[in-house]
Structures are given as structure tokens and as C-alpha cells.
Copies of this chain bind each other. A is one copy, B any other.
Amino acid sequence: MPSPRKAPQSLQNEMDEVLNAVNKTIAKILPETDLPEDRLYEAMRYGTLNGGKRLRPFLVIQSANLFNVNPRRSRRVAAALEFVHCYSLIHDDLPAMDDSDTRRGKPSTHKAFDNATAILAGDALLALAFEILADPETHEDPHVRTELISKLARAAGGHGLCGGQILDLIGEKEEFDVGTISRLQRMKTGGLMAFACEAGAILGKTDGPHRKALCNYAHDLGLAFQVTDDVLDVEADPDTTGKPANQDALAGKSTFVSTMGKDAAKMRAEMLVAQATRHLQMFGSRADTLKELAEYVLMRRA
């Protein structure tokens, strides 16, 4: 069982490299304009270029690297996925939803702009994700493009992100068991993580055991990520996480910590990470970065 430790410098360097590359791609897709509707694009830029860790883009690019995919392609898929992730954060923060005034230590998009602009910026980011994936620049084979779109749309829709978020809201009033919380988190977090890893295999036109292994890795990693998120919510420093502590408990939400206790949750996360890395054995040392990333998820503080 791996124990939490500091991320090796090489992992940090690789993550920084992806972060810079994806930020450049996003900025290129969302240029400043002098159109009367530029306020919308300003909010889209604000909601996407505000200091995220780019964990999902990192997963896309690292998974795609296993199949020697041209990075120009994987960066576009990474940006599209990050647009979906950021749109969901913008909408989740709205007063009607989680009512969060801050995100990553800065005013959330609806505080920096207004509710209407935040709703529309989220909507436009979601549509833009599919526009990017449908573009031949993302991949010359339209089979690859439609498969990416189909998988991302599922992960984003009623059986994915949106379904998970409605369960999250229902969970503020009803108590869930661990099974329902796991399902909720698979929809809310796991779906986009799984897409990130599977996208690498889709871009590499690989089916079969390698693709399956990446999906299994992503599934365990996503759940481990959410369990540590719940732990961070109760024990982390708001200055590090950039958001207030104990938000879940205050909202009366059922979480892994509220249901199974903090220590058991930490053990569960460790077990999931160990399981995640085992799925990658068939890739040998080529998947070392993805294995290191799984351990990083355990020891993160934000």
C-alpha cells in the first residue's frame, strides 16, 4: 500500500508543463475580442484561466502519450474536457446551487460578473467543448471525433455530471449510504476522469485490454480523488485549498467522511490508489507518471 509522500519533482515539472501548454491552448481558443458580446468571453476566460491544477488535462495527455498521440491533438481534447469541468464549477458555485462566493481563492465567476453572465458562460463553454471535438483539427478520423463526443456528452449529462449534481443537492436533505455516495461521485467526478483516460486510448485508436486498463485506473483514481476531497473538506487549511472548510458538513451533505469516518475514508483512498496503479502494470515503466499521479492524489493539500 503506498503511503502519502511529496510529489517527486519530475511529476511536478510534468504537471507544470501540461498546465502551461493547456492554458496556452485555452487562451488561443478564447481570444479577447472587441465584439459587443465580449463580456461573455471575458467570463469564459475568467472561469477557465483561474489557476486550476489541470488534473483532467494531465490525464488526457499522459494517457495519449502511452499511444504516441500527437500532443497537438491531445491538448485540444484536454482543453475541451477542461471546458466541461470549468462549466460545471461555474454552475455549481451559483447561489441556486452550492452558493460559493470563492473558487481557488478568488471570487467565483458569478461574483466577479453576475449570475446571468455566469450561467451563460457555463452554457457557452459546454457547447464550445463539443465544437472543438467535432473539428477535424482534433483528429482527422471522424470516427474518433464522434466517439470522443459521445463519451464526453454522456459523462457531462444526466447520467454523469448533471445527474451527480442533482443527487448532491438531494443529499443535502436525505441521508445516503456509502453505495449511493459512491454512485454519486462516480457520476460527478469519476465520469470526467474516466473520459480523460479513455480519450487517450480513443485518440490512439486503441481498443481492448489497454483501453480497459486505463478506464479501470481512472475509475479508482476518480473515487480516491473524491474521498480525499471529502477528507480535505474537514481537515485542510482554507488558505491552501482556496475555499472555506467544512462546507459539506454545513450544507448537511452526506460524504465519505460523514458516512464512514475520517480514518476509514483515508484508508479507503489509499486502497483505491494502490488498486489504480495495479491496473497499469501492462504498460510497464511507460505509465510511471500516471502511477505517481495516483499517489500525488493521496498527499495533495488542495
Query: What residues make up the interface of A, taking CB atoms closer than 8 Å to B?
Result: 35-37, 39-41, 44, 87, 91, 94, 96-97, 114-117, 119-124, 126-128, 130-131, 133-136, 142-143, 145-147, 149-150, 153-154, 156-158, 160-167, 169-170, 180, 187
Contacts and interface: CB of A to CB of B under 8 A. Distances in A.
A156 B121 CA distance: 12
Contact of A166 (B39, B136, B162): B39
A-B CB proximity, top 6 nearest: A96-B115, A131-B153, A142-B142, A127-B157, A124-B162, A134-B150
Nearest to A84: B127
Task: Summarize A's interface: helix, strand, loop or mixed.
Answer: helix
Contacts of A158: 37, 40-41, 44, 124, 127-128
A170 B39 contact: yes
Nearest to A153: B131
Given A142-B143, A146-B149, 12 more contacts: A37-B170, A40-B158, A40-B162, A96-B114, A116-B166, A119-B119, A123-B123, A123-B156, A124-B157, A126-B127, A127-B161, A128-B158
Q: How many copies does the complex hold?
A: 2
Contacts of A120: 91, 162, 165-166
26 contacts: A35-B163, A37-B158, A37-B163, A37-B164, A37-B166, A37-B170, A39-B166, A40-B163, A87-B123, A91-B123, A94-B119, A96-B114, A120-B162, A120-B166, A123-B123, A126-B126, A127-B160, A131-B149, A131-B153, A134-B150, A134-B153, A136-B146, A142-B143, A145-B146, A146-B146, A149-B149
Nearest to A41: B158
